Structures are given as C-alpha cells and as structure tokens.
C-alpha cells in the first residue's frame, strides 16, 4: 500500500542488537539524548507519489548527497514525546495525537508535505513495540521519541523540495537536567530574539533552535541554566525559553502564560497545564507579561512562583533571573506549592497513577 493515510510497514529487525547485559548497563544511567535504541522508522515521500516505503529497520546512518536540500535551505521539522513503562508493565504514550497535529502545522509552515496523523502515531507504535525493552523503569525515566522530517531531494534551486524523508528514533532518558528537578537560573537576553511575527516561531523546526544557541551560550557564560527571550518587536514582553514555555503564578493563585501569537511554540505540556490548573481551581490567563512587570512583581511578592515547561523537562521551576544590569529572585525559590502540585498531577497522569479523564494517555 502506498501514498495513502496508512501504510504497511516492512519490518527489518536489527541483525546485531545490543545485548541484554549491555542494554541494562546503559539503562542504569541513560542521561538525556545520548543513548539510542536498536531500531528506527523511515518513510519516504515523493511529489506525485505520496508517502511510501515505510520501514522499521536497524538504526544507522542516513545516506545523504551533499546537495540534499535540507543541508542548504533547512527544510526540517521535528517532534518530541515520551513513552512510559507503568507499574503493571504496560507501555503508554502521552498525547501522541497532539504531536501529530503539531507536526502537520509545522510541515505546512515549512512548505513540506503533511504526514497523516494516523500514520504518525502508527510509526511511533511500531518503533516502541520493537524496542520496548529499551524503556527504562522508575520515576523520571522514559523512552524519548524523536520523529523528524527532512528535505531529501538533490538540488540547489530555492524552492520546496519534491522529496522528503521521515524518520523516528528513540532514546531512553533519565532526568533532563543533571541532578533532577531543581530551580534554575535564567538569563534574559538583551540582544537576541527567538522569533518575529510572521516567522517560524510557532513551527517546531531546527532553525528556531539554532537561532537560540548563541543566546544560550551567553546564558551559560553568565552562570545561568537557560535563556529567556523577549519579543522581537518591542523587546519588552516575555516570549519563551530556548525550548520551553513560561508560566507565572501570582499570590491570588492566578496562572499566567504568554499568548500564542505566532512567535511562541504551542507546547503540548503547556496546553495540558492550562487545563489541569483550571481544574484545580486556579484562574488561568494567556496574556502578555513584560519583563519589567516580572521584575516588579517578584520584588513586591505578588509573583510567588515561575516555571518553564516542555516535553523533555516537564516542569522546571525558575528560581533566579539574571540580566545585564542585575538579577532578582522569585519567591519560594520558584518551587512553590502550585508548581509542585501541577508537576505531580501531570506526572501521575502520564504514568498511570491518576485517572486520565481527558484521554491523553495512549496505551500500547
């Protein structure tokens, strides 16, 4: 079957998989993004033919011509989500359909073909099924799934590619930050911006992350863990961190996060937290927050907590904020009761310890 919304996958098991003993040693302390499973998914696309040649095969290098379009014009998108091993041994994924929808949105913005959502989710199922022994156990542990698509046509003309390669790889993961979840210090970049109106800020494309690296290096040099970007027009309003959305928690229990105006990635964790916070009785607002207000509200005590959120780190409290002219602290070191409760609630749903009333968890 080819060119349709669903495809038949050819299964080519890895003839030399990692031994059980070596795999156990790797899973003991996988870190994040450094250890990979035995297999990957590949699907190809050609203009006029559609999606075809779906495979589960041994993970390995991707043959690539030096004139491949992705190397010159950066037509590339990706996603990130996790599979979990529950206490009863079953395997789940958290909101893969939401990732599939965002993958379609990103493809549309980058002038790439839209992978049918059903095929996206099926590709994840196939890889998790064959590499399920790579899913680590324990709190904070998961199998991180990285679907991505690149322009693979060999040409140097400036136009959308006519050929694409979709790939899914998987990486067993521990905590995103070494030492586990703890408040981080962030750097407010005075010079760099992440995205501008009309740009690609709402697409999950590699170029957005490449654009953040110089600012992230600046943050590290300033003794910070992450960079915070302000808006590209007025340089006043908080957009997001290098790879995470931002929330502010006030003394009346209100949660505020910057609105999705096209410059901010519509985070799937962000969306879940908006829902969970409202269910917990908090007032939730999507509105602009200026850096000046962040600083003033922290000084007055009106701002009680701040945190960043995303698939990889889930929730990360923000304890201190640095900028060229000084620094300030967030009350409670950033890790207050609201942040802690939301973190626990979300993790409990992801790991099957709480009722999934929203249908977010997909069992495999």
Residues serving a catalytic function are 204
Determine contact, residues 81/36, Cβ cutoff 8 Å. no
CB atoms within 10 A of CB 146: 16
Task: Give the chain's length.
Answer: 364
Q: Indicate the pairing of strand 226-230 with strand 163-173.
A: unpaired
Three-state SS letters, 337-351: HHHHHHHHHHHHHHC
Kindly list the distances between the CA atom of residue 168 and the CA atoms of 61, 140, 232, in Å, as whole numbers in the listed order.
Answer: 13, 22, 33
Token pair of 103, please?
Answer: 């993958």
| C-alpha count within 13 angstroms, C-beta hemisphere, residue 50 | 10
334 secondary structure, DSSP code: G
| Helical axes 96-109 vs 268-279, angle rounded to 10° | 130
Determine contact, residues 239/195, Cβ cutoff 8 Å. yes
Token pair of 320, please?
Answer: 């201190």
Place of tokens 């003309």: 157
Q: Which of 305, 325, 302, 327 is nearest to 316 (CA)?
A: 305
């Amino acid at each position: 079957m080819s060119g349709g919304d669903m495809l038949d996958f050819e299964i080519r098991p890895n003839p030399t998989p990692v031994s059980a003993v070596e795999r156990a040693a790797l899973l003991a302390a996988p870190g994040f993004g450094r250890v990979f499973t035995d297999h990957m998914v590949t699907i190809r696309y050609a203009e006029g033919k559609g999606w075809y040649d779906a495979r589960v095969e041994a993970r390995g290098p991707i043959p690539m011509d030096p004139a491949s379009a992705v190397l010159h014009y950066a037509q590339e998108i990706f996603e990130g989500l996790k599979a979990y091993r529950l206490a009863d041994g079953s395997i789940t994924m958290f909101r893969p359909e939401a990732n599939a929808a965002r993958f379609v949105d990103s493809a549309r913005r980058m002038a790439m073909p839209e992978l049918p959502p059903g095929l996206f989710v099926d590709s994840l199922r196939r890889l998790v099924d064959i590499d399920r022994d790579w899913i680590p156990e324990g709190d904070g542990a998961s199998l991180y799934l990285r679907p991505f698509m690149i322009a693979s046509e060999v040409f140097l003309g400036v136009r959308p590619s006519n050929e694409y390669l979709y790939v899914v790889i998987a990486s067993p993961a521990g905590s995103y930050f070494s030492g586990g979840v703890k408040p981080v210090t962030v750097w407010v970049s005075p010079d760099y911006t992440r995205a501008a109106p009309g740009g690609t800020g709402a697409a999950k494309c590699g170029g957005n992350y490449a654009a953040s690296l110089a600012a992230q290096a600046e943050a590290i040099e300033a003794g910070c863990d992450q960079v915070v970007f302000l808006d590209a027009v007025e340089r006043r309003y908080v957009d997001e961190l290098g790879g995470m959305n931002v929330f502010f928690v006030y003394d009346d229990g209100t949660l505020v996060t910057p609105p999705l105006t096209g410059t901010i990635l519509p985070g799937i964790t962000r969306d879940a937290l908006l829902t969970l916070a409202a269910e917990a009785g908090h007032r939730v607002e999507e509105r602009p927050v200026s850096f000046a207000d962040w600083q003033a509200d922290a000084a007055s005590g009106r701002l009680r907590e701040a945190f960043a959120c995303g698939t990889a780190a889930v929730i990360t409290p923000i304890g201190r904020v640095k900028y060229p002219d000084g620094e300030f602290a967030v009350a409670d070191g950033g890790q207050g009761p609201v942040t802690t409760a939301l973190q626990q609630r979300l993790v409990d749903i992801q790991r099957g310890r709480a009722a999934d009333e929203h249908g977010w968890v997909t069992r495999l």
